[in-house]
C-alpha cells in the first residue's frame, strides 16, 4: 500500500497538468449577446448609386403648321449626349396611329431633325423620348404638328 500512494499522487499530478502540445490559447470572448430588452437593429445597406436618366430639356417643332408636301423640323436638346427616339403619330378621332419613327444620337448641343414630307392633312403628335445606355426611357415630351390642305 505504501508503494501505491506515491503512484496515485503522480497519476493525479499528470491528470491535472495541462497538455502542452494539444491545447491552444484560451478561446476569445465573442461579440456580446444582444440585450433582450431592446429591439435588434439590422444595419442598413446603401444601394448602389444610380445615375439619373437622360432627359429631353427642350423640343420644338418649327413651323407648327405646314401644308401637305412640305417639311417641318424638330429641334431636340438633351441633358447629356445620348440617343433620342422620335415618333410621329397621326391623331384620328383622338386616337394616335403610328406614322413614322427614328432613333438618333444627339450631342449635348442638340439635334435638328427633318420630319417627313409625306404626311396627309390632319393633326399629328410628335414625341421625343431620351434613352440611356441601359435602355431606360425618360419622360415623354409631346409636341403638336398640323398639316393643312393646300
19 vs 30: which has the higher pLDDT: 30
- Over the stretch 25-39, which tens digit does the pLDDT of each residue have? 766 778 877 677 777
Q: Please indicate whether residue 125 or residue 14 has the higher confidence score (pLDDT).
A: 125
The structure's pTM equals 0.64
In this structure, are residues 126 and 88 in contact, taking their beta carbons and an 8 Å threshold? yes
Kindly state the average pLDDT of the residues 72-77: 96
Main-chain phi, psi angles of 122, to 5 degrees: 150, -170
Give residue 72's Cα distance to chain centre.
35
CATH 2.60.40.2550 fits 56-148, yes or no: yes
Q: Report d(CA 62, CA 94) in Å as an integer.
A: 23
Nearest C-alpha neighbor of 99 from the set 116, 111, 85, 112: 116
Q: Which cell is 104 given?
A: 438618333
* Residue ranges of domains in the chain: 56-148
Specify whether the CB–CB gap between 145 and 61 falls below 8 A.
yes
Percent of the chain residues past pLDDT 70, beyond the cut? 78
Q: What is the pLDDT of residue 41?
A: 75
Q: Which tens digits make up the pLDDT trace of 79-122?
A: 888 899 999 999 999 999 999 999 999 998 889 999 999 999 99
Amino acid at each position: 500500500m505504501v508503494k501505491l500512494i506515491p503512484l496515485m499522487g503522480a497519476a493525479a499530478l499528470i491528470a491535472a497538468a495541462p497538455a502542452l502540445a494539444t491545447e491552444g490559447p484560451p478561446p476569445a470572448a465573442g461579440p456580446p449577446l444582444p440585450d433582450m430588452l431592446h429591439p435588434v437593429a439590422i444595419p442598413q445597406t446603401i444601394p448602389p448609386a444610380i445615375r439619373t436618366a437622360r432627359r429631353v430639356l427642350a423640343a420644338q417643332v418649327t413651323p407648327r403648321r405646314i401644308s401637305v408636301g412640305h417639311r417641318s423640323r424638330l429641334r431636340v436638346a438633351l441633358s447629356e449626349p445620348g440617343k433620342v427616339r422620335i415618333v410621329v403619330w397621326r391623331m384620328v378621332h383622338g386616337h394616335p396611329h403610328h406614322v413614322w419613327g427614328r432613333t438618333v444620337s444627339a450631342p449635348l448641343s442638340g439635334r435638328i431633325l427633318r420630319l417627313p414630307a409625306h404626311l396627309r392633312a390632319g393633326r399629328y403628335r410628335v414625341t421625343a423620348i431620351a434613352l440611356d445606355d441601359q435602355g431606360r426611357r425618360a419622360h415623354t415630351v409631346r409636341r403638336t404638328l398640323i398639316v393643312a390642305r393646300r
